Amino acid sequence: MTDFASTKALFHLPEGVIYLDGNSLGPLPRAAAARVQHRVQEEWGELLITGWNKAGWMAEPGVLGNRIGRLIGAEPGHVVLGDTLSIKVYQALAAALEMRPERRVILSDSGNFPSDLYMAEGLIKALGRGHELRVVAPQEVAGAITDEVAVTLLTEVDYRTGRLHDMAEITRRAQDAGALTIWDLAHSAGALPVDLVGCGADFAVGCTYKYLNGGPGAPAFIYVAPRHATCAAPALSGWLGHAAPFAFEAAYRPGEGIERMRVGTPPVLAMAALEAALDIWEGVDLTDIRAQSIALGEMFIAEVEVRCPMLTLASPRDPSARGSQVSFQFEHGYAAMQALIAQGVIGDFRAPDLMRFGFAPLYIDTEDVKEAARRLAHVMQNRLWGDPVYQARATVT
């Protein structure tokens, strides 16, 4: 059984703050600052360029990829880190489309994060072969899998509502129809158990700065199923995905297996912070995370619905149908969230009217949830959101 009181102590959280936004950016693992400092001073400072070999910087995208692989049910040696999630979406999609050259439809849903859809649009333009991005409502995905579909591009957990796709069922249906699947695990990795092997997923991508707590700008990851490892063509054929980067050949040859999904120089400083964050996951059981995340979410919903009748639940009520976040709809949601943040409870707002709260059991406990609901009730009952100071929109929300 995971001891969540011990894991909470491993994070720095500002005094008085209840942090319900780890679904956007996880908090600072206490060990990360010293780990980054060590990398800067002892490795970069003292080893200089020899750090690539002596400190293992060059191999780290695969080493950390394996540690993430354990959390998402991947086979060892089939996850690699690097770049941003948007880039990894592009790579997976380009590889999948190449593997289904006779088909033209990319199937996604309106609950997908816009960047995934934008990357698909950009790739369609770049390919110029008449592909279509077909976007349906989340609940219509299964029915929209036809033999026109080359690939499904879906985020398992809807970033706005927390609605969860049935990964196993959709993967099965897609493959029965001859399509490939790409799963974006941005809101899944570290939030709930994921079983890529069990589901038979073809590709998966995700970020490490949310529930994995790797820090702002932490690198993304990509998974390619072993059966595709030698046929997935890398669209972004950078030198570190080459079979022999240091042979400096004039022409590109894809690297062995997942190595070919590397592009360029790895983010060495960011990986130091991520390494410290992943240490915390070593003793953690994802089934414990799921059970506790459901308990926290259920408690929050119950407390808020009793105290704040003006808020409407926008997430699935059935906890098994949602990820590790809960959203409430409110017309003045932006200002209400700003007022709540001023009370020390950090959640976020997603247009047009959703107040979104993430529950990460590693550092959020039942007392936090009760206190967050109390402060939210204070904001709502006293109509603090009506104060013009909370209406001004910030650049990043």
396 binds, among ligand 3DJ, ligand PLP, none (CB under 5 to 8 A by kind): ligand 3DJ
Q: Which helix (H) or strand (E) holds 170?
A: helix 167-176
356 is annotated as an active-site residue: yes
DSSP codes of every residue in 45-91: IHHGGGHHHHT-TTTHHHHHHHHHHHHTTPPTT-EEE-S-HHHHHHH
Q: Residue 394 interacts with ligand 3DJ (CB under 6 A)?
A: no
Q: Residue 396 interacts with ligand 3DJ (CB under 6 A)?
A: yes
Nearest distance, CB of residue 61 and ligand PLP, angstroms? 15
Q: Check whether 114 is labelled as a binding-site residue.
A: yes
Which of residues 43, 116, 202, 259 is near ligand PLP by CB under 6 A?
Answer: 116
Q: Check whether 363 is labelled as a binding-site residue.
A: no
Of 67, 103, 173, 210, the active-site residue reads 210
Residue with tokens 């750090």: 51
Q: Residue 337 interacts with ligand PLP (CB under 6 A)?
A: no
Q: Check whether 357 is labelled as a binding-site residue.
A: no
366 binds, among ligand PLP, ligand 3DJ, none (CB under 5 to 8 A by kind): none
365 is annotated as an active-site residue: no
Q: Check whether 115 is labelled as a binding-site residue.
A: yes
Nearest to 64 by CA among 289, 352, 228, 267: 267
Q: Provide the residue type at 368 as one letter.
A: D
Neighbours of 376 (CB within 10 A): 27
Nearest distance, CB of residue 113 and ligand 3DJ, angstroms? 6
Nearest distance, CB of residue 263 and ligand PLP, angstroms? 13
CA distance 128 to 101: 13
Q: Check whether 209 is labelled as a binding-site residue.
A: yes
* Number of chain positions touching ligand 3DJ (CB under 6 A): 4
**Interface residues for ligand 3DJ in 148-207 (CB under 6 A)?**
159
Q: Residue 84 interacts with ligand PLP (CB under 6 A)?
A: yes
Q: Residue 105 interacts with ligand PLP (CB under 6 A)?
A: no
90 is annotated as an active-site residue: no
From 83-91, 169-177, 222-230, 244-252, span contacting ligand PLP (CB under 6 A): 83-91
Phi-psi region of 390 (alpha: psi -120 to 50; beta: other; left: phi over 0): alpha
Cβ distance 348 to 318 under 8 Å?
A: no
Q: Residue 24 interacts with ligand 3DJ (CB under 6 A)?
A: yes
**Interface residues for ligand PLP in 200-259 (CB under 6 A)?**
207, 220
**Interface residues for ligand 3DJ in 99-128 (CB under 6 A)?**
113
Q: Check whether 133 is labelled as a binding-site residue.
A: no
CA distance 312 to 307: 12
Nearer to ligand PLP, 205 or 289 (CB): 205
Nearer to ligand PLP, 46 or 121 (CB): 121
Q: Check whether 265 is labelled as a binding-site residue.
A: yes
CA distance 63 to 75: 13
DSSP codes of every residue in 326-393: EEEE-TTHHHHHHHHHHTTEE-EEETTTEEEEE--TTT--HHHHHHHHHHHHHHHHTTGGGSGGGTSP
Cβ distance 201 to 165 under 8 Å?
A: no
- Please give the angle made by the CA atoms of 19, 356 and 192, to the nearest 5 degrees: 75
176 is annotated as an active-site residue: no
Of 83, 184, 348, 368, the active-site residue reads 184
Beta-sheet pairing, 149-155 with 180-184: parallel
DSSP codes of every residue in 20-42: --TTTS--EEHHHHHHHHHIIII
Cβ distance 326 to 396 under 8 Å?
A: no
Nearest distance, CB of residue 209 and ligand PLP, angstroms? 7
70 is annotated as an active-site residue: no
Which of the residues are catalytic? 113, 184, 209-210, 356
Provide the binding-site residues for ligand PLP, judged by CB under 6 A: 84-86, 113, 115-116, 155, 159, 184, 186-187, 207, 220
- Which residues sit in the known binding site? 85-86, 113-116, 155, 184, 187, 209, 239, 265
Provide the binding-site residues for ligand 3DJ, judged by CB under 6 A: 24, 113, 159, 396
